[in-house]
Structures are given as structure tokens and as C-alpha cells.
Structure 1
Amino acid sequence: MIERREFYIDGAWVAPTASRDFTVINPSTEEPAAVISLGGEADTNAAVAAANRAFADWSTTAPDERIAIVERALEIYLRRKDEMGDLISLEMGAPRTMARRSQADECNIVDALAAARDFHWLRPTDPKTPGSMIAMEAIGTIGMITPWNWPISQVTLKVFPALLAGCTMVLKPSEYAPLDAMLLADILHEAGVPKGVFNLVNGDGEGVGTQLSRHPGIDMISFTGSTRAGIAITKAAADSLKRVSLELGGKGANIVFADADDRAVQRGVRHCFNNTGQSCNAPTRMLVERSIYDRAVETAREVAEATRVGPAHEEGPHIGPLVNERQFDRVQALIQKGIDEGARLVAGGVGRPEGLNRGFFVRPTVFADVVPGMTVEREEIFGPVLSMIPFDTEEEAIAIANDTPYGLTNYVQSQNGARRNRLARRLRSGMVEMNGKSRGAGAPFGGVKASGLAREGGVWGLEEYLTPKSISDWAAE
């Protein structure tokens, strides 16, 4: 079993001031996988103090110097990428192949570097006003709180733009999936990130998370997680007037028109089940034009029943367990709620898949004839559960899709370009993906309404950690 009880503070691994053990459970076996420590207020204070001390020097380094350090970090990351994926697979249950390929993907680091290389750190306000300039400067010390579902992906989406912006930081990764972030600390140390610039303190939300949110030495909180926790963090940060950046939950609608391509339904079901449904941007509501609805329901049933479920260490395409017992119990209760409220169970249901009597495994589940307002249609389940709803008109589909507290990602499947463009503008979400095409590199990730306030990735992700300073009578150099 892995034992990593120390925190990374001021350029070194240090013992907690008062050790409080926390056992990381392997969700495939329900057996202990690692032991870490949960930090206390003294640990948080030490990390914030180190970051504050480092800020003056780091924020005034030349951008090229920061870029060079991140480039070295990327080289080391690529060398240790498989190790990163294996840790993620162990701690949160992503299948090993998927964890190495997708969970541990380096794209966030690559995108952050691309944005920084082309970024204008000093720019004129107006060509007609000589000497009037805008300097884009680091906002300060950042408190980062990241989730367990895409652990290193969410960490790199915050840490590397903040480093390139000239910020210092204290990271609190999820206590359920902390090992990948601790490996990243080793990578950053080897890359030569100056001491105090990056700090890591493990802890839970009620402890270190709240301490960072309230801390007067923290200038900004960047949080990814549940909407409930995001609201609590915003309230905790209010007294110190921190900038708060939130990437929260989602309940994406996938609108499938009769003219969609032949693989649209299969693609949508697989996307919903990817990462065992533990993705905030999962297309968990499939809205299908009535003329093809019955066929779509049958296709969804076939895909669900063909989806293999198994331990994370198994090879081949499959989905793994949910992250922990609490999440397992919650998903089971919501599946039962769907049955109780009268949704038609097409595939899956409560209980573990056949042959799996240990581990937090869930049966890939499809509900048909879901009525807007049912619990499975409203709540973010965060498991492999799809709700299918028929619609008759484009207007009805838009109304159902927008009738949600969330607004992260919506999806459209249609060969009609004019229709796609109309829906892309009318769907209330931070992102719209159509016909299975990914958004471009550097496109911002984030939502509206209860899905949060953040825009992470690309130039927008860099600007999250910067503040503009207006300057007059700047002398030409």
C-alpha cells in the first residue's frame, strides 16, 4: 500500500503539523490503496505564507522564463505519463487504458503553452492615445480546489495557466484521488519551479477547502466540483473579496433529430457512459425526434447491454467502478427514484452487474419515456444513467433542453446546417458540440447558470489568473 503523508510546501515535502490519516480506497476492490494525511489550519497557513513570499519574484519573471519552466515540466510529464495514468486508475477507478490515454492526457499543458507563447502581456489601449497601455498582471496567490472525477486533467487545467500567468498557488486536490497531484508536485519540483510558487496540502472540503476559501492571504479561489460546494465556497470567500472562478455541474441535453447520422445515438450513449458517467459535461438527457424515437430507444438498450463493466486493471474497452461507496449509494438511490417516478427502465437498473459482488460497480442504465421534471431528468446523477425524452418540434426540444438549472454543454445531432447554427445560438450553455465533433484546441471550457462562472483553457484560461492594469504616459522602449 502506498503511504504519502507529507505535503509539498515551500519547495519541499514536509510532515503535517498534526497527522490525521485518510485512507484512499481502490474502488474496484474496496480495499485500501494508499494512506495520506489531511491537513489542518497550520498546514494551510504555512502553504499560503510560502506562496505569498514567492509571489513578488515569480510574478515579475519574464514570460519566456516561465514558459521555459513549463516546457521542462511537460517533458517530464510525458516521461511519467503512464505512471500518472496508473495512479489515477488505482485511486478513482478509471480503466487503466483509458486512464493512460484520456485521464492523463497532456493537452491542457500543451494548450496553456500555446496560449502563453502568443499572449500580449502589454498592449496599447488605443492607437490614438500614445503611451496609454494595459499591462496584464498576475492576480496573486491562488487557492485551487479540484475534484476526483478527472483529477489530473482538472489540476493541469488550473496549475499551468496560473504558473504561466505568474501566479503562485496552493492546491488542495480531492482526498479521494490525491496521488496524481502528488506526482505532479514531484514533476514541477524536478522542472525547477521555484520554491513557494506551487504548494500542495491534502485535505477535505470542510477543512483545507474552507480554510483556503476564507484565507486573507488568498487572492483568488479556482474551484471545480459540485454546484452545492461552489455556492458554499463563494459565500466563504465573500468577506475577503476574492475573485472566485467556478466550474460546476451539468445536465447536458443531446438533441437527436431524424436526419442525424446513423451513429448519433450510439455515440451519445457511449459518451454518457464514458468515465462511468462521472463527467460534468456528459450528455445525460437524450432528446429524440419522435419519428425515430422507438428505434433510438432500442439502439440505446443494445449499447447499454453491450457495455462491459469491470475492474480498472482489466484490459480492453470497458467502464470501471464509481469512485466510492457514497457515490455508489447515491446513484443506486437515483436509479430507484427513476423507477418509482414511472420512467420506463430499458436497460440496467439497481444493483451491481452480474458477476461483480464487490467494488462500486453500477449497471449501465437507460430510462425511456422520461417526463421533464422527473428527478432523473433534473438532477446530475454522476453515474452511467441516460434519460430519453421524445420531442415533436425544434421549439419543444429547445425548451426542454433549456429548462434546467444547469448550462454547461449541450449537444446537437443533425445534418441540417442552418438548424445546427440556430440551436447553437439558442441553447443556454457555455458550450455546444454538434455531430460528434470536438471543440477546437484552446476553446474555453465552462458554463452558465448553475454550471458556474469559469472559462478554462486557451487564452481565456490564462486570463482567469490575470488582472488588467491601466497605465498612462508609457515611455516607448
Structure 2
Amino acid sequence: MLDKRQFYIDGQWVAPLAGTDRAVIDPSTEQHFATISLGGQADTDFAVAAARAAFPSWRTSTKTQRIDLVRSIFDVYMRRSDEMGAVISREVGAPLEMSKTQQARTSSSHFTGFLDALETFEFERPLRPDTPHDRILYEPIGVAALITPWNWPMKQIVLKVIPALASGCTAVLKPSEQAPLSAMLFAEIMHEAGVPAGVFNLLNGDGPGVGAQLSGHRDVDVVSFTGSTDAGRAITRAGADTVKRVRLELGGKGANMIFADAHENAVPNGVMRCFNNSGQSCNAPSRMLVEQSRYAQAVEEAKATAEAITVGGTSEVGPHIGPVVNAAQFDKIQTLIASGIKEGARLVAGGLGRPEGIEQGFYVRPTVFADCTPDMTIMRTEIFGPVLSMMAFDTEDEAIAIANDTDYGLTNYVQTANPDRAQRISRDLRSGMVEINEQRRSTGAPFGGMKQSGTGREGGIWGLEEFLEVRAISGWPAD
């Protein structure tokens, strides 16, 4: 049994002041394998005070000093990335090789994106060439509370911690209590890389406790949160009294629009993309909209693809998917699958219960529903599991209307050989991101959504700007 009750505050590991024990459960076995502490108000105050005390010095650090520190963190992180992958695998149930390659190592692109952005970012600049006495300053906002999720724990930590420090802010990280051990390893990496005391602090806790305390804390200047839309609303309300900046990356219900001229692997690739990480991705293409002339074939392809997917343990080798993260998530997914059946969707693969032969662990059968309608619960709710909902469309306008008929607006997907159609649809989709013909976003591109998928952007220059205040000074003396 691992004892991980300590917090990392002011450059050292410390015992909780007002902590309560919490078990960390292996989703593959349902066994308790580690114990952490959930902090109380005294712990939150201690961590925020450490970040506040470190801010005056860190805010005046030079861009060169910050670049050197980020590079140092990056070097240590990559050296320990396989170790990080193994930790993530056990706490969230991702297959080991997938966890090493996708969960841990791909965070390298976020590091390089921020380094590239920082190299060229002008923290002090004239308003225009013809206004030499008007100066624009970009300054760190202050103490940042960073609240991260469990589904892609390290990607989200890197997307928040690195730009916060690179902009000159100091930070208090509260990772998900479902995936705390990877964050604690990240704190070890930060210490080894030489992050100054108080500039980065780690405090475990849950949403109603430490999460709410950080969101409402008068000495926290900005909250950056990734998680559910319901939690995002609560954080926004908590931050309102102190009028702090709140940035949210929330849920999604992405539509994958497959036209008759889409490439031959569009459907199986879409299924695999939806089921990656056991479907636990906010930008999963969980609604597959297929042009009528190709729909019957698409349903058969989706069925065959889902039935070919294997479900297995984290240590097993091969392209399989693991369990979902916990019992509550498993139960939620089962309830939503049941609602799809009850509301009349045609179940073509998977269904209720665990996969055949598996009796322990939070494993879900890869599930595909066909003949869905936009009003069905499975078409409107973020399931966050390996469940795909399919329906047909007749016209381009109908497909756009269905795609946009959602409270969310994170990522949508377009598969077509017609470049004019691809551009036209992309402009009409109400989402922060659109992916055409499986072309992934480049390093440094902004990540974020519209509507109830959140506010703000992460990655590259946009990620830096989330932690900066813009100041205008007139009468600046000429050089």
C-alpha cells in the first residue's frame, strides 16, 4: 500500500494540516492501492500563502530565466516519462503502452509549443509604430489556482502549469483526486528541475473542499479549470465574489460528419477515435452523422469495428481499451446505455454489463447505437465512455443543424473529399475546434470551446495570454 498523504508546498513535502484520508482505487481490479490526503482550509491557506509570497520575486524574473526553467522541467519530464506513464496507467486504467505513448509522452508537444511561444512573445511593446509614447505591458496576473481532471491528467497539468509559470505567475495545483499520483510525480519533477520554492505548489483535495476553497480564495487571482460543465458552473459562482478571472475547459458532444465521398476508412477510424481512452475524452467524436446513401454500410462498419475491439487489463499488450475510471462512471454509462435502449435507438454492438469473461474492474462493452434522433439522451449527454451514437442525414444544411443542436461546442469533425464543402461547413459549425479529414491540430494551436464547453484557450501563445494582464501606459518616455 502506497502512503501518499503529503503535499508539496513552498518547495518541500509537508504533512497535511487538516487532511482526511482517501483511498486511490485501481480501476482494473477495484482494489485500494494507495492512500492520499484531501486537504482542508488550513492546507489551502498554506499553499496559497506560499504562492503569494513567491510571486513578487517570480513576476520580475526575466524571459530568459523562465525559458531556462521550462527547458529544465521538460528535460526531467521526458527522462521520467515512462515512469509517468506507468503511474497514470494504474490510477486511471489506461493500457500501459497507450499510457506511456499517448498519456505521458505526447505532452512533449505542449512543452515545445509553449517554449516556441515564449521565445517570440513581447511582454513589452509599443501600441503602434506611430504611437511611441503608448506602451502595452503584459504582466503576470498573480496566483493561479489550477484544477485538473483525471482523464488525461498529465496533458492538462502541463497545459496549465507551464504557461502559468512561463508568464510569471505562481501556482497552486489541485489535481483530480481520482488521479493524484501522477501529479505528485510531476511535483517531484518540478523539484528536481529547480523550480523556486513557492512558485509551484501541489495540494490534493476534492471539488467541494479544496476546489471550492481555491475558487473563492481572496488571494487567488485566476482559476483555470478543466472538467465537467456542472463543476465549471460551481467554480464560476465561487469566483464571482472576488471577481477573479475564471477560465474553463468543459465537456463536449462532438459530431463526426461523414459525407458519401469521405475516404473509405472514415467510419472505422471515427469509431476508434471515439473509443480511445475508453471514450473518456471531452473532444471525442461521440455523435456520428452519416450521409443517407452511405449510412447502411456505415452502420455495418461501425458494428464490425466495435466488435473487433478488445477490452483488457492495463498490463496486457495490444491495441485494446481499458476500464473506465471508477464505479460512479461505470454506473453512469450503464444508465445512459439503458436510456438509449429505452428511447428506441437500435443497439448494434455492445450493450449493458461488463464484457464477456470479465467479472472485476470497471470495464464497459464497446457500444454502438444506430438510428438515433437528436432528442435522445445519448445524443445530448456527454457519456464519457465507449458509446457511439449514429444517425443519418440527407443534406449538408441538415447535418450542420444536427451538429450544432447541442449545449456544447468543443470539437466537431468533417469527412469529405470536397474542399469547398469542408471549408463551408467548418465556418458554420459552432465549436472552438473543427478537424477536417482527420488532420490533427499542429503544435501550439489553441484548444478550447464555445457555449457550455467553456471559456478561454489553452496551448501556445493563447495559453500564455490566459495568465497575463494587459496594461496600457501613456506618456512613456522615448528611448
Deviation by residue 1:268-295 (Cα, 9 ceiling, x = unmatched):
0000000000000000000000000000
- Give the CA deviation at 1:33: 2.0
Identity of aligned residues (%): 62
Per the alignment, residue 12 of structure 1 pairs with 12
- Give the CA deviation at 1:142: 0.5
Deviation by residue 1:356-414 (Cα, 9 ceiling, x = unmatched):
11000000000000011100000000000000010000000000000000000000000
* Residues 396 and 50 of structure 1: CA distance in aligned 2, closer, same or farther (over 3 Å): same
Residue 67 (structure 1) aligned with residue 67 (structure 2): yes
Please give the residue correspondences for 1:184-195 in structure 2 after superposition, counting only pairs within 5 Å. 184-195=186-197
Partner Cα separation in structure 2 for residue 52 and residue 200 of structure 1:
14
Partner Cα separation in structure 1 for residue 478 and residue 446 of structure 2:
34
**The one of 112, 120, 123 aligned to 1:121:** 123
Per the alignment, residue 40 of structure 1 pairs with 40
CA contact (8 A) 2:333 2:385 kept: yes
Please give the residue correspondences for 1:96-245 in structure 2 after superposition, counting only pairs within 5 Å. 96-104=96-104, 105=106, 106-245=108-247
Report the residue type matching 2:289 in the other structure.
L
Q: 4+ runs of 1 displaced by more than 3 Å?
A: none
Per the alignment, residue 406 of structure 2 pairs with 404
Report the residue type matching 2:390 in the other structure.
M
Aligned length: 477
Residue 302 (structure 1) aligned with residue 304 (structure 2): yes
Partner Cα separation in structure 2 for residue 209 and residue 327 of structure 1:
20
- Give the CA deviation at 1:474: 2.6
Residue 318 (structure 1) aligned with residue 317 (structure 2): no
Report the residue type matching 1:45 in the other structure.
D
Residue 368 (structure 1) aligned with residue 332 (structure 2): no
Partner Cα separation in structure 2 for residue 308 and residue 108 of structure 1:
30
Is the deviation greater in 102-111 or in 27-36?
Answer: 102-111
Partner Cα separation in structure 1 for residue 71 and residue 196 of structure 2:
15
Report the residue type matching 1:98 in the other structure.
M
**1:235 partner SS:** helix
**The one of 341, 344, 347 aligned to 1:342:** 344
Per the alignment, residue 56 of structure 1 pairs with 56
Partner Cα separation in structure 2 for residue 276 and residue 320 of structure 1:
6
Is the deviation greater in 421-430 or in 100-109?
Answer: 100-109
**2:100 partner SS:** helix
Partner Cα separation in structure 1 for residue 382 and residue 309 of structure 2:
21
Report the residue type matching 1:40 in the other structure.
G
Per the alignment, residue 95 of structure 2 pairs with 95
- Give the CA deviation at 1:131: 2.4
Report the residue type matching 2:408 in the other structure.
Y
Is the deviation greater in 433-442 or in 287-296?
Answer: 433-442
Partner Cα separation in structure 2 for residue 475 and residue 87 of structure 1:
54
Deviation by residue 1:151-207 (Cα, 9 ceiling, x = unmatched):
011010000011100000111000010011111111111111110010111000000
Partner Cα separation in structure 2 for residue 337 and residue 223 of structure 1:
30
Partner Cα separation in structure 2 for residue 440 and residue 422 of structure 1:
21
CA contact (8 A) 1:33 1:91 kept: no
- Give the CA deviation at 1:312: 1.2
- Give the CA deviation at 1:476: 4.4
Report the residue type matching 1:269 in the other structure.
V
- Give the CA deviation at 1:472: 2.0
Per the alignment, residue 459 of structure 1 pairs with 461
Partner Cα separation in structure 1 for residue 352 and residue 442 of structure 2:
38
CA contact (8 A) 1:33 1:90 kept: no
Partner Cα separation in structure 1 for residue 177 and residue 321 of structure 2:
22
**2:455 partner SS:** coil
Please give the residue correspondences for 1:286-301 in structure 2 after superposition, counting only pairs within 5 Å. 286-301=288-303
Partner Cα separation in structure 2 for residue 171 and residue 301 of structure 1:
42
CA contact (8 A) 1:51 1:197 kept: yes
Per the alignment, residue 383 of structure 1 pairs with 385
TM-score under structure 2 normalisation? 0.99
Is the deviation greater in 115-124 or in 256-265?
Answer: 115-124
In structure 1, list runs of 5 or more residues that go unmatched: none
Report the residue type matching 1:272 in the other structure.
C
Partner Cα separation in structure 2 for residue 315 and residue 210 of structure 1:
40
Deviation by residue 1:211-264 (Cα, 9 ceiling, x = unmatched):
001100000110000000000100010000000000000000000000000010
Report the residue type matching 1:243 in the other structure.
R
In structure 2, list runs of 5 or more residues that go unmatched: none
Partner Cα separation in structure 2 for residue 246 and residue 99 of structure 1:
25
Deviation by residue 1:293-314 (Cα, 9 ceiling, x = unmatched):
0000000000000001001111
